[in-house]
C-alpha cells in the first residue's frame, strides 16, 4: 500500500488547499513528478504556484531533534555512494555491515551475529557516521 502525502498549494502566496501530488498534477495538467520536485526544491511553477509537502508528525519523529547541518543533497550523495558491504561502527562500538539497500532503509548486520539484521533509515546511518567523524576530529585536537 502506497502512502499518500498531501501537498499544500499556494497561488501567488495565497493558500489554495491540500491535495495529493496526483490531484494537483491533474488539475494543472502537469506530471506528478513536477509537483513533488517543486515542493522538495522550494521552487515556484510558472512563477506563480508553490507547493509544500504536508505530513502528519508522528510522536517518534518529534522525539528526534533535527540536525540542521545535514542537507537533502548530503543524504542523496550518501545514499548514492553507500555500497553493500560498507562497514560502520555504532556509538556503542559494535561493528555493522550493510547487507541490503532499500528505497528508504538500509539493512545492517553485525558480523558476529548475521542472523539478526537491523534496519535504519539513511538519515540515521548518515548521522551516526557524521557523529563518529566529529568525535575523531575532536580527539585529535
Residue range(s) in the chain whose domain bears CATH number 2.30.30: 65-140
**Confidence (pLDDT) at 141:** 40
3-class secondary-structure state, position 84 = coil
CA–CA distance, 90 with 108 (Å, rounded to integer): 11
The pLDDT tens digits for 78-101 are 888 888 888 877 666 678 888 888
**Confidence (pLDDT) at 135:** 53
State the fold for domain 65-140: SH3 type barrels. (2.30.30)
**Confidence (pLDDT) at 90:** 67
Residue 123, C-beta contacts closer than 8 angstroms, at least 6 positions apart: 70, 75
Q: What is the pTM of this model?
A: 0.46
- Hey, what's the torsion of the CAs at 25, 80, 126, 36, to 10 degrees? 0
Compute and round to an integer the Cα radius of gyration of the chain. 19
Amino acid at each position: 500500500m502506497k502512502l499518500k502525502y498531501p501537498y499544500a498549494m499556494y497561488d501567488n502566496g495565497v493558500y489554495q488547499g491540500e491535495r495529493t501530488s496526483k490531484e494537483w498534477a491533474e488539475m494543472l495538467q502537469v506530471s506528478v513528478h513536477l509537483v513533488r520536485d517543486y515542493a522538495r526544491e522550494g521552487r515556484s511553477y510558472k512563477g506563480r504556484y508553490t507547493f509544500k509537502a504536508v505530513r502528519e508528525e508522528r510522536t517518534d519523529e518529534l522525539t528526534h531533534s533535527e540536525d540542521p547541518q545535514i542537507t537533502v543533497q548530503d543524504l542523496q550523495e550518501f545514499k548514492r555512494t553507500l555500497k553493500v558491504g560498507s562497514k560502520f561502527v555504532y556509538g556503542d562500538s559494535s561493528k555493522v555491515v550493510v547487507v541490503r539497500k532499500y528505497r528508504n532503509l538500509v539493512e545492517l548486520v553485525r558480523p558476529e551475529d548475521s542472523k539478526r539484521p537491523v534496519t535504519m533509515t539513511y538519515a540515521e546511518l548518515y548521522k551516526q557516521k557524521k557523529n563518529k567523524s566529529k568525535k575523531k576530529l575532536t580527539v585529535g585536537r
